[in-house]
């Protein structure tokens, strides 16, 4: 009854909205309604009516926010407010909210407003992870809607301080060196406007040209065109050179229980010392195990990163897992990758001999290498041996004696580890503008041919983890060879991961595939074909 009440409330809330293409619906970790898929609210209501309860699985917040993150990677538009409402039914059962912080951090870094609706007696604010302060309570599920919904829904929808629909020119200034200023036209829904903008090549952002609105118009308006202007930061001084070079650098330090406390402390001291010698904080990322402690483009001064590093503690319950480190690193790269700027990742590896310590790393390392990232592994202590280290990089630095303050030959090897071997001049600053490309009328050839192709991938419990990753890697490789993403459909068993005629790029489809995991549900060819037939 309470599940049915949730669906009834969802239908009622969606019925009050009127732009179907701006609505996305998840059912657990499945996405029955991606953004930009339907043009009428009734189509979405039909999909909601088909949502059924999965009686085999408990609540998992990490699965929900992970799927939400990859939906955002595909559809996020930083010129339009984006909001996410999480229906949370359990925060007390062990594992129900574990691991959610990582993906929630990625989502918040994209500027998304997260609101959590805590439902029933097992969802308590005291045990809810610190991923948002926007909490709405629904303790009595016999009620038709959450407490105070009528007064709180506007904020949950991201409309807390909405721009007037008749507002004129708005200037939005992004921070950084140098600063790009955008001049945009805010228009009434249904009108037409074109805004041309250029951005500096900073990871996490991209040069964009906003298309004219294609929403149906009920009034006649005159299209307005405005052009972005780029203004250097008025510092009165020359842009600071990049030390050591222009690379974006990830430090993936180990917080497992492998090292004795003194050696763990020595690792942190070395990390702080290395970062202290750098000078562009926005180009530094720090991981503590699989946790993104300081993502790229988060901090503007080195001291803030050092403060974060000082909070790193050793997790005495967990052994070293290179797979978890690379998986988190890949998630960071999906957000921040910029093919015009060198990127380097330094992995602090403390164990290659314990069973499971380096298993399952090949897929994620392959994805990262395919993105052009230089990986360097620092093998630390007596449990990290090059002979048992997976073949993911030939860039190896050894630190066998952890009483020493830094790895062997660090002073001569650090430049290459930072991706500076063939770097641009350290005094060369980034361009403040990116030329708007000229469109061409040449048709891109279809690889392998003009077919519409569906990949119905099995995520059931039929395969063990090793074989699952082999097949996942094959799917990744097969899709990577294609070049028309709108002609590709990907199913994860009966769930539609990527519909045909989508707005994805090939890289974004690969991002969806890379995070697939198998579940506890048996294989059902009937359900797979039923979903494929619906597509």
Helix boundaries (H) for 286-425: 302-309, 322-336, 362-370, 410-417
Q: Are residues 149 and 194 in the same domain?
A: no
Q: Which burial class, exposed, middle or buried, applies to 234 when counting CB atoms under 10 A from its CB (0-12, 13-18, 19+)?
A: exposed
Residues 269 and 138 in one domain: no
pLDDT for 444 equals 60
Are 470 and 460 in contact by the 8 Å Cβ rule? The answer is: no
Express each pLDDT in 7-51 by its tens digit.
999 999 999 998 888 999 999 888 888 888 788 899 999 999 999
d(C-alpha 413, C-alpha 421), whole Å: 10
What residue ranges in 295-409 does DSSP mark as E strands? 343-349, 374-380, 396-399
Q: What is the pLDDT of residues 355-379, one digit of tens each?
A: 999 998 888 888 888 888 999 999 9
- What mean pLDDT do residues 237-259 have? 83
| Beta pairing partners, 344 | 249, 374
Banded model confidence at residue 264, pLDDT cuts 50, 70, 90? very high
Q: When comparing pLDDT for 205 and 32, which is higher?
A: 32
Structure tokens at 14: 């969606």
**Phi first, then psi: what are they for 272, rounded to 5°?**
-60, -40
- 149: domain CATH number? 3.40.50.410
Domain-terminating residue out of 417, 445, 479 = 417
Question: Is 303 contained in some domain?
Answer: yes
User: Is residue 423, in this structure, part of any structural domain at all?
Assistant: no
pLDDT tens digits, residue range 332-349?
887 766 656 789 999 999
Residues 6+ apart with CB under 8 A from 447: 481, 482, 483, 484
Contacts of 113 (CB under 8 A, 6+ apart): 81, 82, 83, 84, 134, 155, 156, 158, 160
- Do both 286 and 363 map to the same domain? yes
Query: Of the candidates 181, 199, 230, which is a domain's last residue?
Result: 230
421 has a pLDDT exceeding 70? no
> Position of tokens 């990089």?
393
In a domain, 85, yes or no: yes
The angle subtended at Cα 411 by Cα 256 and Cα 289, nearest 5°, is 15
Name which of 239-248, 331-340, 478-487 the model is least confident about. 331-340
Average pLDDT over all residues of the chain: 78
- 79 alpha-carbon distance from chain centroid: 18
Q: How far apart are CA 490 and CA 509, in angstroms?
A: 8
Is 133 in the same domain as 282? no
* Percent of the chain at pLDDT exceeding 70: 77
Judge if 366 and 264 occupy the same domain: yes
Same-domain status, 468 and 410: no
Report the number of distinct structural domains present in the chain: 4
Domain boundary among 179, 199, 230: 230
Report whether pLDDT(100) > 50: yes
When mean pLDDT is compared across 105-109, 211-215, 257-261, 412-416, the lowest value belongs to 211-215
Residues 469 and 400 in one domain: no
Q: Tell me the pLDDT band of 528, cut-offs 50, 70 and 90.
A: confident
Residue 514, token pair as written in the block:
């890379």
Partner residues linked to 489 by β-bridges: 454
Domain around 202:
169-215+222-230
Question: Which helix (H) or strand (E) is 496 found in, with range?
Answer: strand 495-498
What percentage of the chain reaches a pLDDT higher than 90?
A: 39
Answer whether residue 89 is part of any domain. yes
Q: The tokens of 500 are what?
A: 């045909």
Residue 427 lies in a domain: no
> Is 243 a member of any domain?
no
Rounded Cα gap, residues 328 and 379, in angstroms: 19
Residues 471, 357, single domain; the answer is no
Query: 498 and 396 in one domain?
Result: no
Q: Based on the domain organization, do 327 and 295 belong to the same domain?
A: yes
| Radius of gyration of the CA atoms of the chain, in A | 24
Q: Cα 233 to chain center, whole Å? A: 29
Within-domain flag for 261: yes
Judge if 18 and 145 occupy the same domain: yes
Are 148 and 200 found together in one domain? no
pLDDT band at 423 (very low <50, low <70, confident <90, very high): very low
- Closest CA relative to residue 284, chosen from 309, 264, 261, 266: 309
Q: Answer whether residue 209 shows pLDDT above 50.
A: no
Range with the poorest average pLDDT among 226-235, 278-287, 441-450, 456-465: 226-235
- Among residues 193, 190, 194, which one has the least CA distance to residue 215? 190
Phi and psi at residue 349, to the nearest 5°: -110, 120
Rounded to whole angstroms, the maximal C-alpha distance in the chain is 75
Sequence-distant contacts of 299-302: CB under 8 A, at least 24 apart: 300/175, 300/176, 302/275, 302/276, 302/278
The per-residue pLDDT for 196 is: 29
- Determine, yes or no, domain membership for 516: yes
Termini Cα distance of the chain = 30
Residue 54 CA from chain centroid, whole number: 26
Is the pLDDT reported for residue 436 higher than 50? no
Higher-scoring residue by pLDDT: 435, 462:
462
Order of strands across the sheet that contains 193-196? 209-210, 193-196, 224-227
């Amino acid at each position: 009854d309470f599940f049915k009440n949730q669906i009834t409330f969802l239908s009622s809330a969606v019925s009050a909205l009127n732009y179907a293409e701006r609505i996305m619906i998840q059912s657990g970790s499945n996405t029955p309604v991606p953004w930009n898929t339907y043009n009428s609210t009734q189509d979405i209501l039909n999909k909601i009516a088909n949502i059924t309860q999965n009686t085999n699985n408990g609540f998992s917040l990490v699965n929900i926010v992970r799927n939400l993150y990859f939906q955002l990677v595909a559809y996020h538009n930083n010129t339009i407010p984006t909001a996410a409402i999480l229906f949370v039914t359990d925060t007390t059962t062990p594992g129900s909210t574990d691991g959610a912080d990582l993906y929630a951090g990625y989502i918040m870094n994209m500027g998304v407003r997260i609101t959590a609706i805590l439902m029933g007696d097992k969802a308590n604010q005291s045990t809810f992870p610190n991923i948002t302060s926007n909490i709405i309570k629904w303790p009595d599920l016999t009620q038709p809607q959450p407490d105070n919904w009528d007064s709180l829904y506007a904020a949950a929808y991201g409309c807390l301080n909405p721009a007037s629909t008749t507002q004129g020119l708005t200037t939005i200034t992004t921070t950084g060196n140098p600063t790009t200023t955008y001049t945009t036209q805010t228009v009434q829904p249904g009108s037409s406007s074109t805004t041309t903008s250029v951005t500096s090549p900073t990871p996490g952002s991209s040069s964009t040209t906003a298309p004219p609105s294609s929403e149906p118009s009920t009034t006649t308006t005159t299209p307005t065109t405005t052009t972005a202007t780029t203004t250097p930061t008025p510092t009165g001084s020359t842009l600071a050179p990049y030390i050591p070079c222009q690379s974006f650098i990830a430090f993936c330090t180990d917080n497992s229980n492998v090292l004795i406390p003194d050696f763990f402390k020595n690792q942190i001291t070395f990390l702080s010392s290395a970062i202290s010698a750098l000078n562009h904080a926005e180009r530094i990322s720090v991981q503590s195990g699989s946790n993104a402690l300081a993502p790229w483009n988060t901090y503007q001064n080195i001291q803030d990163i050092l403060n974060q590093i000082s909070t790193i503690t050793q997790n005495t319950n967990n052994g070293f897992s290179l797979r978890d480190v690379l998986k988190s690193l890949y998630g960071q790269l999906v957000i921040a990758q910029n093919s015009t700027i060198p990127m380097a990742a330094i992995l602090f590896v403390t164990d290659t001999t314990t069973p499971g310590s380096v298993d399952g790393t090949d897929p994620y390392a392959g994805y990262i290498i395919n993105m052009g990232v230089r990986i360097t592994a620092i093998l630390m202590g007596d449990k990290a041996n090059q002979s048992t280290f997976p073949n993911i990089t030939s860039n190896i630095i050894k630190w066998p004696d952890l009483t020493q303050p830094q790895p062997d030959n660090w002073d001569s090897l650090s430049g290459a580890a930072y991706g500076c071997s063939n770097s641009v001049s350290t005094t060369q600053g980034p361009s403040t503008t990116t030329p708007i490309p000229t469109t061409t009328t040449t048709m891109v050839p279809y690889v392998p041919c003009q077919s519409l192709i569906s990949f119905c991938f099995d995520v059931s419990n039929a395969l063990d983890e090793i074989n699952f990753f082999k097949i996942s890697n094959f799917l990744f490789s097969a899709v990577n060879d294609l070049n028309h993403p709108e002609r590709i459909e990907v199913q994860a068993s009966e769930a539609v991961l990527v519909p045909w005629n989508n707005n994805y790029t090939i890289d974004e489809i690969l991002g969806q595939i890379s995070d697939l995991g198998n579940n506890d549900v048996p294989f059902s060819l009937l359900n797979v074909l039923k979903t494929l037939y619906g597509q």
